[in-house]
Structure 1
Amino acid sequence: MSFVWIIAAVRRGCPTVKATIYHIAAATEREARRTLAKDHVCFFAGRIRQGVSNA
């Protein structure tokens, strides 16, 4: 199952602490964080399941 992870992230070494919201498609939260972890400090904000029909 795949999710869209909503992650708030602050860029490392940035003089202003302003979080940016990212929407990342990944199977796990760890995988989603890994895409940002090199340059950002990440905070979990939410998860949306993909491919679900509630009709």
Structure 2
Amino acid sequence: MLSSFMDNISNFIFTIIEILSLYIGKLIENAGIKMINISFHLPVVTIIFLPLLIKE
């Protein structure tokens, strides 16, 4: 009983990981298309993450 429950949980987690990796893959694919603007994205990303880094 318990082992089948654990199997269900691990299957669920693997499904989530699979969906996430597909989603991230799509994001990276889209980013690759837009990477012409890398010099623009870099400062924007820095500005977004700087407050988070300072908080730590």
TM-score by length of 1: 0.20
Larger Rg: 2
TM-score by length of 2: 0.20
Q: Which structure is higher in strand share?
A: 1
Q: Determine which structure has greater relative contact order: mean sequence separation of CA pairs < 8 Å that are 6+ residues apart, divided by chain length.
A: 1
